[in-house]
């Protein structure tokens, strides 16, 4: 959510930003919110004047009563009673208008960074850099679930009977590999100075609307029936929520946290063959990283976060590339986003395995995450998040890039301590 003061003073800049995101249907919201905001401030001003007048008159009543001028005092009391009724109406009007302003402001997209390429959707994202040499072996690489099944590592049929499509049982060495990747990613981030955290796996609605747009919430989140609780789609949600309604000392920033959690997503819509298996599922586990920092440091942290993911994948011998997300592919709260994609030797192309996002002060403004700076000045923090690793999808890249011709899978040296010393899965 952008600053209402900025919108008030720069309506054309906000409209131009909306156009860059190809959301022309939201242009009318800018004028609407300016009008409602003016009405809200006018109601507040009237209410403030009435409160001030009430205080003055109350003092006059006290003085008149002390002087024995009861009739004059009672006349003023009647005036105060009438003003009290008017004040109640104004306060109700102000609260209603303020709520309408907030609801509309939450639909207006954040101001994107000047470096973001302009494009309508993810087909216009821009490749930035490649890390590692993408290779295609001289033998055929099976579909990822076929690799797992040959290693007795997955049972999709039983999962369908138990939970439906979009679920799986991981078994044996594949299940162990899954856990090994999570543990390795945890220690990888701790070694880089991040504090490890296991957060709540459910959050309340005020946290949900603080970390994402209404459209994202509807398409992603599972709600607990009869309770004000949602299953998290990523631990970033509860990790940022940890700081809700806080005033943080500037000298304590940045907060750098890495978190483990299961994640739950609706994943609406039909998907192609490459997004089946364990690529796009309703339940998975993930290691995440978040940063809460001063505004002037968020660009630096953005680059450090995506580099962490690149370095982790390269340590496991997986070639990756980075893509700058174009304006139309950015969620409304994001200032900038960069995807990390892993090489798929089977498909002979890259596919997404992580996404790094800078949200500026949008989440902090919604959740009231403030910083106490020099001279007692308060301002909103900046928040960032990035995927360290999400094993189901990451396992696809891992298996394809470490598969041998005989169907066995090589274990890179960095992961062997987490696999009981094994250097191969047969």
One-character DSSP codes across 391-411: HHHHHHHHHHHTB-TTS-EE-
C-alpha atoms less than 13 angstroms from C-alpha of 385 in its C-beta half-sphere: 24
191 in Cβ contact with 183 (< 8 Å): no
pLDDT at residue number 120: 95
337 is catalytic: no
Active site residue 346: no
| Catalytic annotation present for 265 | yes
Write down the pLDDT at residue 353.
95
Tokens 């009438």 belong to: 82
244-274 residue pLDDT tens: 999 999 999 999 999 999 999 987 554 454 4
Tokens of 46: 């009237």
pLDDT tens track for 111-151:
999 999 999 999 999 999 999 999 999 999 999 999 999 99
- Of the candidates 186, 265, 346, 370, the residue annotated as catalytic is 265
Other Cβ atoms within 10 Å of 135 Cβ, number: 9
Spatial separation of the C-alpha atoms in residues 276 and 397, rounded to whole Å: 14
- Helix ranges (DSSP H) in 67-143: 70-105
- Asked if residue 390 lies in contact with residue 379, where contact means CB atoms within 8 angstroms, the answer is no
3-state secondary structure of 59: helix
Assess whether 410 carries a catalytic annotation: no
How many angstroms separate the CA atoms of 261 and 238, rounded? Answer: 10
Catalytic residue among 238, 259, 355, 357: 355
**Which residue(s) pair with 107 in the sheet?**
none
β-pairing, 246-249 vs 222-223, is unpaired
314 a catalytic residue:
no
- Name the active-site residue from 149, 216, 285, 352: 352
pLDDT lower than 70: segments of the chain = 54-81, 268-276
H helix or E strand, kind and range, residue 380: strand 378-380
Report the relative pairing of strands 382-389 and 283-293 from DSSP bridges: antiparallel
Angle at 251 between CA 246 and CA 254, to 5 degrees: 70
CA distances from 346 to 86, 141, 155, 323, 383 (A): 72, 5, 22, 21, 36
User: CB–CB of 327/119 below 8 Å?
Assistant: yes
Kindly calculate the radius of gyration of the chain based on its CA atoms and give it in whole angstroms. Answer: 27
Catalytic residue among 8, 280, 304, 410: 280
pLDDT of 75 reads 66
Return the SS3 of 306: helix
Please tell me the chain's helix, strand, coil percentages from 3-state DSSP, rounded to the nearest 5: 50, 20, 30
Domains of the chain: 4-105 (1.10.287.40), 122-425 (3.30.930.10)
């Amino acid at each position: 959510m952008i600053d209402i003061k900025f919108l008030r003073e720069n309506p054309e800049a906000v409209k131009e930003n909306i156009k860059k995101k190809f959301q022309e249907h939201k242009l009318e919201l800018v004028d609407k919110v300016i009008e409602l905001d003016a009405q809200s401030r006018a109601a507040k001003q009237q209410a403030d004047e009435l409160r001030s007048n009430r205080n003055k008159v109350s003092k006059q009543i006290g003085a008149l009563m002390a002087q024995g001028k009861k009739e004059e005092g009672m006349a003023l009391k009647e005036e105060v009673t009438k003003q009290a009724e008017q004040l109640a109406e104004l306060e109700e009007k102000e609260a209603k208008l303020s709520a309408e302003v907030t609801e509309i402001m939450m639909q207006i997209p954040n101001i994107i960074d000047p470096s973001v390429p302009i494009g309508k959707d993810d087909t216009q994202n821009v490749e930035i850099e490649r890390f590692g040499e993408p290779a295609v072996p001289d033998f055929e690489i099976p579909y990822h679930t076929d690799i797992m099944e040959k290693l007795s590592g997955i049972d999709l049929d039983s999962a369908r009977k138990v939970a439906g499509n979009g679920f799986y049982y991981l078994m044996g060495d594949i299940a162990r590999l899954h856990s090994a990747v999570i543990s390795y990613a945890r220690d990888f981030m701790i070694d880089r100075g991040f504090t490890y955290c296991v957060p709540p796996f459910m959050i309340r609605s005020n946290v949900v609307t603080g970390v994402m747009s209404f459209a994202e919430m509807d398409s992603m989140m599972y709600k607990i029936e009869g309770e004000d609780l949602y299953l998290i789609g990523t631990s970033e949600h509860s990790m940022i929520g940890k700081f809700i309604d806080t005033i943080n000392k500037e000298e304590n920033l940045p907060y750098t946290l890495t978190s483990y959690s299961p994640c739950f997503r609706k994943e609406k819509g039909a998907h192609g063959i490459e997004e089946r298996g364990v690529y796009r599922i309703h339940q998975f586990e993930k290691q995440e990283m978040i940063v809460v920092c001063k505004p002037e440091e968020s660009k630096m942290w953005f680059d450090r976060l995506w580099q962490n993911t690149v370095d982790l994948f390269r340590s496991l011998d997986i070639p990756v590339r980075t893509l700058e997300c174009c304006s139309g592919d950015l969620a409304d709260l994001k200032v900038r986003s960069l995807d990390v994609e892993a090489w798929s030797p089977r498909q002979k192309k890259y596919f997404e395995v992580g996404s790094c996002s800078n949200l500026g002060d949008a989440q902090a403004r919604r959740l009231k995450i403030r910083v106490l700076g020099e001279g007692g000045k308060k301002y909103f923090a900046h928040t960032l998040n990035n995927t360290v690793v999400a094993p189901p999808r990451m396992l696809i890249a891992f298996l394809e890039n470490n598969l041998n011709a005989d169907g066995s899978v090589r274990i890179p040296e960095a992961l062997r301590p987490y696999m009981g010393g094994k250097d191969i899965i047969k």
